[in-house]
Chain A
Amino acid sequence: MATFGYALLLMTLVVSTYTGSAAIVGHHLKSQRLAVSARYGAFAVFGLLSCASSALVYLFVVNDYSVKYVQHYSDRSMPLFYKATSFWGGQDGSLLFWVWVMSIWGAIAIYQNRDKNKELIPYSLATLMVITVFFVTLMLFNANPFETYAAGAPTDGKGLNPLLQNPYMVIHPPMLYLGYIGWTIPFCFAIGALAHGKLDYGWIAAMRRWCLVAWVFLSVGLVLGGLWAYEELGWGGYWAWDPVENAAFMPWLTGTAFIHSVQVQERRQMYKAWNLLLIILTFLLTLLGTMMTRSGVVQSVHAFAQSNIGTYFFGFIILTCVVSFGLLIYRSKALAPQSGLESILSREFAFLVNNWILLAAAFFVTFATLFPSLFKAVSGKEVNVGPSFFNTWMIPIGLILLFLTGIGPLLSWRKSTGTTIRQQFTVPAIVGVLGCLGLVFGVGITHWKALAALSICIFVSSTIFQEFWRGTRHRMKNAGENAFDALITLVTRARRRYGGYVVHFGVVVMFLGFAGESFKKEIDQTLKVGEKITIGRYDVRLDDLKFEDDGQKTMVTAVTTAFKTGTDISLGQLTPAKWAYRKPADQTTTEVSKRMSISDDLYLVLAGYDGEARTAILQLKVNPLVNFVWLGTFFLMIGFSIAVWPERREQKAKATVRGMAPAMVGATTLALAMLTLVLAFI
């Protein structure tokens, strides 16, 4: 089976090389047959990689420990579910997962564009295939997931790190990868447009929804990573500016800039070169991020160990830079803007500022993440850049962006007149200022960062509500509809606009959660069974210390009850624990226990215990507003769904086609997976 998997990878290499060449040769010879065969080549690559991925999953499921990768990341005692998902637990498998996901996206993109954007396809497809060849070559010669032990294969595996045996860890990597890799397709189309010279809005129109899809997957992936850290790592936070986190955050920043600035190109035919630059940067940052985390260039607590794939990535990044920037310069004449900026009180200028700041943020995060490595190269000394360094910079940047979220959409294109500005901003500005005063004198908040964040949140929310309110009122008057109908029609008539507002609202809600960070409380306390301690609005009593064993692990649990401060009103039981797994030997995990509520989380960690003295050392934290971060993500997803949902006329015409694409992909994947299983048993 392992040999079969390896053979599949070899075949992928051959087919993708052919596909790329056929696409370009077919284009130049104007051969319809070659062009069609190249298109099918893209599907074949997807098929082959699906088989290879199924083969690897299969090897995990049947406990084939003669395969090094399987032996490293699983063992017999693991549940079937986690065995299958160990697929992306390590470096070699995650490369296969990467290229497989890319082939899925590629196949969908080629299928969607089979009848349109004919000029763009050849070079886009060729670019996609070059990237595929790069990854497959990397696996074949450097990080082969199907590598086997020459002799004396172990009978059991080393096991997957228990920290990764968590439902969030199962869906977090796929989500993140879908988003991360999703940016590859717009990049390929951008290169396709540059190479062909068809530089109008076409390639962006083809990719607009794609970018939103990639963006939302990346956003959700990032948040799920935070959720995992919050649930599993036990330090009570969700973001630590670790290089691995930053690697995924950098393309998110440039990608966010891109999805804003393409709207300017759509409306005003400006920023053409800028948009191309942004998408190229986004793709480069995904490569850079992968290189950083996979090569040991950057020190990180949860980076993969050093390997020399960094050199290959570095070479590929240089190649990408040369080709993309070369093409940009070559086409620079055609990229000149057709209209100029008319006023700084215009939406296009707000977008420009938004882009600058997002780009500055991306540059800063990249710089700060790479700083220790650069510093070492220059001075020979090793230095560390702590989270406080990131926070000092990113908090103001984040607040400015949040503020722009309120300003930008309310400005008119071209030029806003004094009247429109008064009309648009009077109410939100008053609400914002009143809210700020209320927070200072009513609630008593003096922490300036939190105060700024919360005040801006109030301001931006009021701009969004004002938009919905005015739109609905307008429809109620003009079309005589009731409020609910008016709201629904309003949103469905301009999904992109109102979907965008909902996404912005999601961001506002997330910022509430970030602001809550300023008010967190933390206590470390040794408690005897029966003793109580007060933190925030809670009293916590240690009721019992339990010692158990379930065969896979030994468990120590502190049974505690939370009360409303100063009363006997129980708010429920919390059971923080420490688990010691038998495999991998001596691996311990801290099992956090928390009581969630909309205003705060009570978060308990069992830091230590003494069985004889019946004492437990508890780390107690109160994290105010933290759940707004997850809630905001939910709004973000809703807004995204509204924005990308096909418009009604389009929907009718293409309903069948749209339904078919995913169905076809699903059916093919399933069929190939079945085939692999059948082959495995022969």
Chain B
Amino acid sequence: MPRSNLIKILLSATIIVGAGGYLLADTMAEPEVLTYFQPADVVIVNQKDFLGQRIRMGGHVAKDSILLKKGTLEYQFEVKPVLGMMKFPEAKDKTITVRYTGVVPDTFKDDAEVIVTGMVQPDGSFVAKELLAKCPSKYEAEQKNQGTY
């Protein structure tokens, strides 16, 4: 390859890398891009640490806790930690109240695994702007060959 072409290629590569770097810096500055995930038990035990911080919280919807204000899309429900995956066993029987306004996915119901994105409020509840739900029975429920490793 002639030298001049090599220079041209290097030049274009620099432009591409530069553009990439700019985009990276740009996206990293946006607070909504990266959100930390926390299991519900961690949030329940260390509520104060998360005040005013946007997080994704994962847990299960407590049985019979879903309340819907009639004629609106204002939901309130309790989220409990995922058993077997807890860092704080003392949170076992505790729940956190989540409030969410909007359309819920079809999979949102009792016992469903949910991931809510939002903020812990000073009163100890969690206001979610986004709600994802996964019905535990729907996909492969059991883990096969458990404990092989």
Contacts and interface: CB of A to CB of B under 8 A. Distances in A.
Nearest to B6: A341
B72 A381 contact: no
B51 to A, nearest CB: 18
A143 B144 contact: yes
B16 A388 contact: no
Interface string A336-361: 00001111100000001100110010
Contacts of A584: 137-138
Contacts of A341: 1, 5, 9
A181 to B, nearest CB: 21
Report whether over half of chain A's contact residues are helix, strand or loop; otherwise say mixed: mixed
Interface string B97-141: 000001111100100000001000000000000001011011111
A237 interface: no
Contacts of A381: 36-37
A304 B140 contact: yes
A589 interface: yes
Interface string A639-672: 0000000000000000000000000000000000
Given A306-B143, A392-B26, A524-B103, A608 B73 contact: yes
A305 B141 contact: yes
A384 B138 contact: no
B30 interface: yes
Nearest to B5: A341
B71 A607 contact: no
Contacts of B68: 608
B140 A307 contact: yes
A619 B104 CA distance: 11
A175 to B, nearest CB: 21
B20 A388 contact: no
Contacts of A163: 106
B73 A142 contact: no
A448 interface: no
A372 B37 CA distance: 10
A586 interface: yes
Nearest to B70: A610
A610 B71 contact: yes
A526 B69 CA distance: 12
A586 to B, nearest CB: 6
A678 interface: no
B134 A301 contact: yes
B83 interface: no
B19 A607 contact: no
B64 to A, nearest CB: 13
A393 interface: yes
A361 to B, nearest CB: 11
B70 A340 contact: no
B143 A617 contact: no
B115 to A, nearest CB: 8
Contact of B37 (A233, A301, A342, A384): A384
B14 interface: no
B36 A383 contact: yes
B23 interface: yes
Contacts of B103: 234-235, 524, 605, 607, 619
B88 to A, nearest CB: 15
B34 A384 contact: yes
Given A308-B149, A353-B12, A613-B70, A385 B140 contact: no
A482 interface: no
Contacts of A384: 34-37, 56, 117
B65 interface: no
Contacts of A360: 16, 20
A615 interface: yes
Contact of B27 (A91, A392, A589, A617): A392
Nearest to A392: B27
Contact of A607 (B1, B73, B143, B149): B73
Chain A interface size, as a band, is: 35 or more
A348 to B, nearest CB: 11
Given A388-B30, A392-B26, A142 B144 contact: yes
B46 interface: no
A384 B117 CA distance: 10
A305 B33 contact: no
A615 B56 contact: no
Contacts of B84: none
Contacts of A340: 1-2, 5
A396 B23 contact: yes
A88 to B, nearest CB: 13
A142 B143 CA distance: 11
B32 interface: yes
B148 A389 contact: no
A363 B92 CA distance: 41
- Among A352, A386, A605, residue most surrounded by chain B Cβ atoms (within 10 Å): A386
A429 B134 CA distance: 50
Interface string A362-393: 00000000001000000001111110110011
Contacts of B71: 526, 608, 610, 613, 615, 617
Contact of B138 (A161, A299, A605, A607): A161
B140 A383 contact: no
Interface string B72-88: 11000000000000000
Interface in A276-335: 299, 301-308, 311
Contact of A308 (B8, B26, B141, B148): B148
A194 B72 CA distance: 64
Nearest to B132: A301
- Among B16, B19, B104, B138, residue most surrounded by chain A Cβ atoms (within 10 Å): B138
B37 A586 contact: no
A617 B72 contact: yes
A84 B19 CA distance: 50
Contacts of A613: 70-71
Given A613-B70, A613-B71, A588 B106 contact: yes
Contacts of A311: 149
3 nearest A-B pairs in the assembled complex, by CB-CB distance: A382-B37, A305-B140, A607-B103
Given A142-B144, A607-B103, 19 more contacts: A235-B103, A301-B134, A304-B139, A306-B143, A344-B8, A356-B16, A381-B36, A382-B38, A384-B34, A386-B33, A386-B35, A388-B32, A392-B26, A524-B73, A524-B102, A584-B138, A588-B106, A588-B109, A608-B68
28 contacts: A161-B135, A233-B105, A234-B106, A305-B139, A305-B140, A307-B140, A307-B143, A311-B149, A340-B2, A341-B5, A344-B5, A353-B12, A356-B16, A357-B16, A382-B38, A383-B37, A384-B117, A386-B34, A388-B30, A389-B27, A392-B27, A393-B27, A524-B73, A526-B71, A526-B72, A584-B137, A589-B106, A608-B68
Interface of B: 1-2, 5, 8-9, 12-13, 16, 19-20, 23, 26-27, 30, 32-38, 56, 68, 70-73, 102-106, 109, 117, 132, 134-135, 137-141, 143-145, 148-149
Interface of A: 72, 90-91, 142-143, 158, 161, 163, 233-235, 299, 301-308, 311, 340-344, 352-353, 356-357, 360, 372, 381-386, 388-389, 392-393, 396, 524, 526, 584, 586-590, 605, 607-608, 610, 613, 615, 617, 619
